[in-house]
Amino acid sequence: SAVISQKPSRDICQRGTSLTIQCQVDSQVTMMFWYRQQPGQSLTLIATANQGSEATYESGFVIDKFPISRPNLTFSTLTVSNMSPEDSSIYLCSVGQTYYEQYFGPGTRLTVT
Amino acid sequence: KNQVEQSPQSLIILEGKNCTLQCNYTVSPFSNLRWYKQDTGRGPVSLTIMTFSENTKSNGRYTATLDADTKQSSLHITASQLSDSASYICVVSAEGGYNKLIFGAGTRLAVHP
């Protein structure tokens, strides 16, 4: 399994600002994903980060709100834009060679005040 | 609609006792089923994975079972330890051209001394 790190591990941000979360993997991976986990809830897929092309977003998530970059096979960023308190969640990246086998990063705990 | 339901929602047991968590799914066509453990503030970590042809899989004190006919799975924890306190998430993946993971809401387990 891959070793995945995320930065920052947590942050407290003011509404209206943006935060960029980084996901770094210790080996090249085909697929990288971004999830949101709202308090007390399970994980919801935001988008699949594709290397060399635009991310594929799930229903309810848009690029203007959650722009994603994937410049190479070991790194991706997720930006949470124009934040509101409803964006307070844990954001997790996961990686895998297929959808079937995904390994999760430690998560970024975001609080928006 | 592809769904994964887990029960109970939460559970409290005493250290050293056994417990069983349940997962029912309506995902079709079925590919595989994973149980993840998620410690508070951390990303999910895979415990077991089972395909259609497997009906039991063990990982130390964790034993998962799968009945593909009734679309039910269970996770049995033996001789619980305080470190078992976590959320346990059942995740099912579907076959198809665009495979995604379908997450259950999780069971929050608390092991008390």
Which of the two residues, A107 and A40, has the higher pLDDT score?
A: A107
Tell me the mean pLDDT in the region A14-22.
98
Q: What's the pLDDT band for B55 if we cut at 50, 70, 90?
A: very high
For residue B97, what pLDDT is reported? 46
**Residue from A25, A24, A22 nearest A2 by CA:** A25
Quick check: helix, strand or coil at residue B98?
coil
Tokens linked to B17: 């006792």
Judging contacts by C-beta atoms under 8 Å, the chain A residues touching residue B46 are 1, 103
Residue A23, class by beta-carbon neighbours within 10 Å (0-12 exposed, 13-18 middle, 19+ buried)? Answer: buried
Which of the two residues, B32 and B15, has the higher pLDDT score?
A: B15
- CB contact under 8 Å between A103 and B41, yes or no, is no
The shortest C-alpha distance from A28 to chain B (Å) reads: 20
Residue in this structure with the two tokens 């929602």, named with its chain if needed: B9
**Residue range B36-50, pLDDT digits in tens:** 999 988 889 999 999
Q: What are the residues of chain B with a beta carbon less than 8 Å away from any beta carbon of chain A? A: 31-32, 36, 41-46, 49, 89, 93, 99-101, 103-106
- Using alpha carbons only, give the angle B70, B38, B24 rounded to the nearest 5 degrees: 10
Regarding beta strands A68-72 and A108-112, do their DSSP bridges make them parallel or antiparallel, or are they unpaired? unpaired
The pLDDT mean for chain B works out to: 92
The shortest C-alpha distance from B113 to chain A (Å) reads: 24
pLDDT at B100 over 80: no
**Residue range A25-80, pLDDT digits in tens:** 999 998 899 999 998 888 999 999 988 888 999 999 999 999 999 999 999 999 99
**Residue from B109, B111, B108, B105 nearest B23 by CA:** B105
| Backbone φ and ψ of A73, nearest 5° | -85, 5
Tokens linked to B6: 């887990």
Residue B84 is given by DSSP the state G
For residue A9, what pLDDT is reported? 95
How many whole angstroms separate alpha carbon B30 and alpha carbon B16? 35
